[in-house]
Structure 1
Amino acid sequence: MNSRKQVASSFTSATQIPISKEILETPVVTTIVSSSDEEEEMSFEADLWVSLTKTGKQKTPNMIRNDLQKYIDECKENGTSSQAKIVKSLAVDNDSFRKFMNPKNYPDQWSATKNETYWAATKLLEKVKHEKKSTKVATVSSARSKRKTSDSPCISQKKTKSELRSDLKALIARVHAVPNVAQNGGVYDSCTEVVAKIKKFLNRDGMTKALFLEAVLGGVNPHILAKFLAGKKQDQCETIVYRTAYVFFEKLRILEGRKKSKARNINEERYPQGFSLTKK
C-alpha cells in the first residue's frame, strides 16, 4: 500500500506547478504491471498492478468510479449480488467507499487514488472482466468439442475421476522431480500471487483439496491451507504453505517451459533475497 500512496502522491504534487490539463490527467507511473500482460493470466493480482486504458494510460478515478457503479447496477438487476456484498468483497469500509463514489469529494480527481477503494475497485473490475472472458472461451471450446465429438465417433470418452486423479498424481510426481529449485531459497511470489496459483491449480479436472494437501503440501493440516487462502496481503507469510506451494509452482513453471512473468521479474528486482517469511 505504501507504493500505491507514493504513486498517488505524485499525482497530487503535480497540481502544485502550472502544467497543462492534458499532462495533469496523464500521470507518469513507473514499475507497473499492465492488464495487457498475457504472460500471466492473473497479473492483476500482483501488488504493483495498475489498470490501463487501451492507449496505455492509467485509468482515472472517474473511469473506475463509473465502471464500478455500472457493475453494481448490473449485479442488482440480474440478482447476482448487492452493493453491500460488493463493498465487502472490496475489503474497504463503508465510509471510504461512499467518499470515493462521490466525485465532489475530489476537486482534483487524482487525489482519489489515495482512497483504498480506487485500488480495490480496479482489481475487482479486472477480475470480473477476466472471469467473463474465461467463461466465453470455455463456452466456445465446449461447443467446438461437442461438434468434434459428434463428427468423430472414434474419439475416446471423457476420462473417469479415477483416471484424472491418476494423471494428476503422475504430474505432481514429475513436478517434485524437477531439479535445481532450492527448498530453502528465496520466495519471489507474494502471498496473493501464490494464493491465485493454488486456486487455479485446484480448478484442474480431478483435483481436490485433499489430493493437493497430500501430494503437493506433504500432508499439511487443511485448516492451515484454509487460513492461508483467506489471508490478506502478506499476513500469512510465516505459514509452511507459502514456501512449499511457491517451490511447487516454480517447479511446475520450469516443467511446462513457461517464462517468468513480468510480476515475477519485478519482484526479483525489488526483493533480491525474496519476500520476507516473517511478519513485520
Structure 2
Amino acid sequence: MTTNASASTVSNPALADDEEYSDDGFDSQNLRYNCNQLRAKIREFLGEKEMTLKEFLEECQVNPGSYYRFMELNGRDRGAGNTTYYGASRFFYRRDRRAKIEKRKQKANDKKRKASEHREEKAKKARDGLDLLKRIQETVLGDEDENGFPPVYDDCDEIRKKISEFQGEKIVTQAAFLKAMGNVSANSLRSFMSMKRGAGSGAANVVYRKGYVFFEKKRTLEGGNKTKKRLENEKKQGPDGFELRHDDGKRYYLVSELQQTV
C-alpha cells in the first residue's frame, strides 16, 4: 500500500462509496485536515464517548484493519491513501455541516421564540395597563368638592412632567389614557403639553385639572407619599389650591402706575 500519496490522490476511490453521502457535496476540495491532524481529531472524538469505535467505523464506512493501520502511522501525509483518511474526513465534514444547519435552525427558532415572548409581554403589559387605569378610575379622593374635583396642588409644569413620564412608560395607549382622565380630547392634551413653561401656563386647560385628579388617584392607589414640593404648595395655596386660570407669567402695567413707583 502506498503511504506517501498526496491528499488529492485519494478522491477517486472514495467517490465509489455508498451514494448515501452524495447529497453532502463532499469531495477532495473539502479535505481540511492532513493525516496527523485527522488522527488527533479521531482520538479526541472517540475520547468524548459520543459513539463507540464500531459505530464510528460504520459511519465512516471503513474496516477495522484499515483504521488501525492508519492510526499507527505518523506524518502529515502518511496514510492519505488509506480509506480511513477519506472516510473520516467525510464523517467530520458531515458532522460539522449538520451542526451548522442545527445552529441556523436554533437561531431561527430562538428568533421566533423571542418574537412570541415579546408579543406576549406586550399583550400582558397592555392588560396590566388597562387594569391599572380601571383601578385608578375607581379610586375615590377624600377632598373632592361637589363637582367631584379636589383642590389642585401641583402646578402646570408638574402635571406636564407627570404626563410625559406616564406616557413614556408605554403601558397604555394615548386614547386609553385620555379616556381614563375623563374623556379628554387629544387636541386639549396637545395644546396643554405644548405651552411654554410656567406654573400657571395652561391652568385653564381641562387637562390640567383632570390630569391632576388622575395622578392624585394614582398616587393614592399606589400608597405614594406627598413630595416636599407638594406639601409646600398645600401650605402656600391654602384650601382652594392653585387657581384654574391661565397665567403665562406676563404682567402689564399702566404708565401712570409705573410713574407712581418712581
- TM range, normalised to the smaller chain? 0.3 to 0.5
Query: TM-score, normalised to structure 2's length?
Result: 0.44
Larger helix share, 1 or 2: 2
Higher alpha-carbon Rg: 2
